Amino acid sequence: MKKILFVMFIIAIGLTVAVYDKVPPSKVPININAERLTENVKILASDEFEGRAPGTAGDKKTIEFLKQKFKELGLKPGNGDSYFQGVKMVEITASPDTTMEIKTADGIMNLRYGPEFMGWTQRVVDKVSVSDSEMIFVGYGIVAPEYGWNDYEGLDVHGKTVVVMVNDPGFATQNPDLFTGNAMTYYGRWTYKYEEAARQGAEAVIIIHETAPAAYPWAVVQGSWTGPQFSLESDDGNMSRVVVESWMPGDKMAMIFKSAGLDYQALTAQAAVKGFKAISLKATMSVSLNNTIRHVVSNNVVAVLPGTERPDEYIIHMSHWDHLGRDEALEGDQIYNGAADNATGTAGLIELANAYLSGAQKPGRSIMFMAVTAEEQGLLGSEYYGKHPLVPLGKTVAALNMDVLSYFGETYDVTIVGYGNSELDDYVDRAVRKQKRIANPDPEPEKGGFYRSDHFSLSKEGVPALYFEGGVNNVEHGRKWMLEKLADYTANRYHKPSDEYDESWDMSGAVKDLTLIYKIGLQLSHEDSFPNWREGNEFKAKRDAMMKK
């Protein structure tokens, strides 16, 4: 038995060496250049590009800039003879002059829009109304066959308002054997709650907000869903969505539970136990929303470097080009330049293209460079691509996403969101070891960071994907200094007009990370296998199904 194991071990080593022999060491330097990267960041983050909001003049300038860069490099158009993939969106702005009426056994509650509830619709109509809709508490609102979980089992919610909790039972119990324990699954995301409720035929949804499971305070809910909301526009005008999607603070919902003679804390705890049965809150909900509607077409920018061996198979490098545009209501600086978020990642795509084109060994599989639109509006550009792929998803090897490259210098480590989920880990580990660095998984998986950037749109369609973030252990200044810098960015520049390029930026860390990403992509291009998700992952079934076709 020991001999057999030893032989298997030697075979495994041999296979690993054989894989690496396909990309032998080269004396040709990798063409990723800090000065060129910086210059493109400066251009994309300049006031001339007006914050790169979809559907604006800044949109047109950005996509033309990227098209020209890809064309100059000699990359082929990714959509037939075009570098653009049109993305139809609709902008719906609900009037805040409304209230949500809750009728309970104790009387009527009139909740104010903003501080006491947030509501909107994705239906493309001037007005939506829900009238005296029965409220049903359905726990987490999850249907997850792989976990043996169905909160809607035996339940008919047509014409009703479902009340659901954010996150999933694993986070609530901290039980590592329940879902994925502390780490949020897709079933915990607010987007999933609305999608599943629509599939079940509900009329409306109220997500209960609690700060810990949501990973952000009520102020974020209020700020994020106030004003214009973008969504993709389906052929039916999004009429397959529920009528009203909404949030409510936990303390307000607790009052509704109490009026029905129910213990809010006890029932929300019971909802984390398999077999929990939905319960009526003995209350009804009514609300009307008046909408202002604007139709917008933006574009993903897509270019391809054909592979030399299997050109019909693709590795996708992706990054979002959009940001928040300008706010003329602000005094002083009105432009959200988005230098870090995400001019850095967009400029990084151009650097990766340079690296592949000038490398000693050309990629065996085709490389797609995709700059997607409308990430800031809810991953809409990448979601559109996931639903309307330009190449078959079954021929898509992996998606490698960049969103905010480091500008604080080199680090001993790199953070990779999605690390631990798929067989892509093996390629990461090899490439990181070559750089004498370490790979860190998402340090706060309970916040669901994996589901908040564009790679997720491909992941949920079954394609293994990773999202690369900068490291936290700075070579020159150490971990404490780096964490302070990152915290300062989050507090003072993230999604603010102050996210601008500064001459103090040190892009050497971004160059190191881009080199890592390039080596992973190149290695994948010379494989003949397709990485899969790990057993138990919520996207594995889709990958398995697509690979059988």
Question: What is the domain-level CATH number for residue 184?
Answer: 3.50.30.30
Give the mean model confidence (pLDDT) for residues 244-256: 98
Q: What is the pLDDT of residues 381-418, one digit of tens each?
A: 999 999 999 999 999 999 999 999 999 999 999 999 99
DSSP 403-466: -S---B--BSEEEEETTTSBTHHHHHHHHHHHTT-EEE--S-GGG-GGGSSTHHHHHTTT--EE
Residue with tokens 């119990």: 173
Residues 200 and 301 placed together within one structural domain of the fold: no
CATH for 416: 3.40.630.10
Contacts for 11 with CB less than 8 Å, ≥ 6 apart: none
Residues 356 and 442 placed together within one structural domain of the fold: yes
Residues 72 and 124 placed together within one structural domain of the fold: no
Residues 372 and 283 placed together within one structural domain of the fold: no
CA dist 123 and 129 (Å) reads 11
Does pLDDT of 18 surpass 50? no
- Residue 534 DSSP code: P
264 part of a folded domain: yes
Residues 64 and 99 placed together within one structural domain of the fold: no
418 within 8 A of 465, measured Cβ to Cβ: yes
Rg of the chain in Å (alpha carbons): 24
Q: Which is it for the CA torsion 104, 105, 109, 114, positive or negative?
A: negative
Q: What is the pLDDT of residues 482-507, one digit of tens each?
A: 999 998 998 888 888 999 999 999 99
* Residue that terminates a domain, selected from 262, 293, 324: 293
472 part of a folded domain: no
Does pLDDT of 464 surpass 60? yes
475 part of a folded domain: no
Q: Measuring CA to CA, which residue among 455, 468, 516 is closest to residue 316? A: 455
414 part of a folded domain: yes
Q: How confident is the model at residue 11 (pLDDT cuts 50, 70, 90)?
A: very low
Give the mean model confidence (pLDDT) for residues 192-208: 97
Total of domains in the chain: 2
Residue environment code for 385-401, b if the CB has 16+ CB neighbours within 10 A, otherwise e: bbeebbbebbbbbbbbb
Higher pLDDT, 15 or 239: 239
The encoded tokens of residue 432 equal 């990181």
- The residue range of the domain holding 542 is 28-89+296-467+506-547
Query: Can the peptide bond before residue 421 be classed as cis, meaning omega within 30 degrees of 0?
Result: no
Q: How confident is the model at residue 153 (pLDDT cuts 50, 70, 90)?
A: very high
Q: What is the pLDDT of residues 435-454, one digit of tens each?
A: 999 999 988 888 888 888 99
Does pLDDT of 6 surpass 90? no
* pLDDT for res 1: 35
Helix, coil or strand: residue 193? helix
283 part of a folded domain: yes
232 part of a folded domain: yes
H helices, E strands: number in the chain: 16, 21
Give the mean model confidence (pLDDT) for residues 144-151: 94
* Residue that terminates a domain, selected from 293, 326, 359: 293
Helix axes 508-525, 424-434, angle to 10 degrees: 130
Q: How confident is the model at residue 215 (pLDDT cuts 50, 70, 90)?
A: confident
Give the mean model confidence (pLDDT) for residues 114-135: 97
Residues 114 and 184 placed together within one structural domain of the fold: yes
Residues 377 and 427 placed together within one structural domain of the fold: yes
Residues 156 and 44 placed together within one structural domain of the fold: no
CA dist 248 and 208 (Å) reads 5
Residues 36 and 116 placed together within one structural domain of the fold: no
* pLDDT for res 378: 87
Residues 285 and 300 placed together within one structural domain of the fold: no
345 within 8 A of 516, measured Cβ to Cβ: no
Q: Considering the chain, what percentage of its residues have pLDDT values greater than 90?
A: 83
236 part of a folded domain: yes
The chain-wide mean pLDDT, for the chain, equals 92
394 within 8 A of 547, measured Cβ to Cβ: yes
* Residue that terminates a domain, selected from 293, 324, 359: 293
The encoded tokens of residue 201 equal 């035929």
Residues 303 and 446 placed together within one structural domain of the fold: yes
Residues 393 and 463 placed together within one structural domain of the fold: yes
332 part of a folded domain: yes
* pLDDT for res 14: 37
Asked which of 119-133, 164-178, 380-394, 488-502 is least confident by mean pLDDT, the reply is: 488-502
CA dist 511 and 316 (Å) reads 19
Q: What is the pLDDT of residues 37-75, one digit of tens each?
A: 999 999 999 999 999 999 899 999 999 999 999 999 999
Does pLDDT of 9 surpass 60? no
The encoded tokens of residue 317 equal 């490098």
Which residue type occupies 522?
L
